[in-house]
Structure formats: C-alpha cells, structure tokens
Amino acid sequence: MIHAVRPALASEHGPDAFAGSVWQQASAAAASHAPYLRPLDAPPPGFADIAR
C-alpha cells in the first residue's frame, strides 16, 4: 500500500525571528516535531534584515 507524504505541520508557534518570512512554517514545524533542534533554530545576527 502506498501512502501520500504530507508536510510536517506545526502544532505550536515557532521562533519570533522567523515571523513573516518564508521560513516561518518550517521553523515552527521543526520546533514542534524536533524540540532538540530549538537551540539551532535561533537565527544569526542580522538575519531579520535579509529574510524579508
């Protein structure tokens, strides 16, 4: 049997640094499904300026 692959959707809010960017859903899903990645999800300094 073949199952469709669906994206990992977030069940909680992601980091505020990614709000409004194309990375918002991906970072929220990573925080929801892999909480051990939260420390790595902090953007580098100046990222907010180039992400929009």
Overall pTM surpassing 0.85 (yes/no):
no
Does residue 8 form part of some domain? no
Q: Which domain holds residue 27?
A: 16-51
Does residue 3 form part of some domain? no
Does residue 7 form part of some domain? no
Does residue 2 form part of some domain? no
Number of domains in the chain: 1
Closest CA to 40 of 52, 31, 49: 31
Average pLDDT of the chain to the nearest whole number = 76
Does residue 10 form part of some domain? no
Contacts (Cβ under 8 Å, ≥6 apart) of 22: 51
Does residue 46 form part of some domain? yes
Helix (H) or strand (E) holding 21: none
Percent of the chain with pLDDT strictly greater than 90: 0
Q: Looking at residues 11-32, what average pLDDT do you find?
A: 79
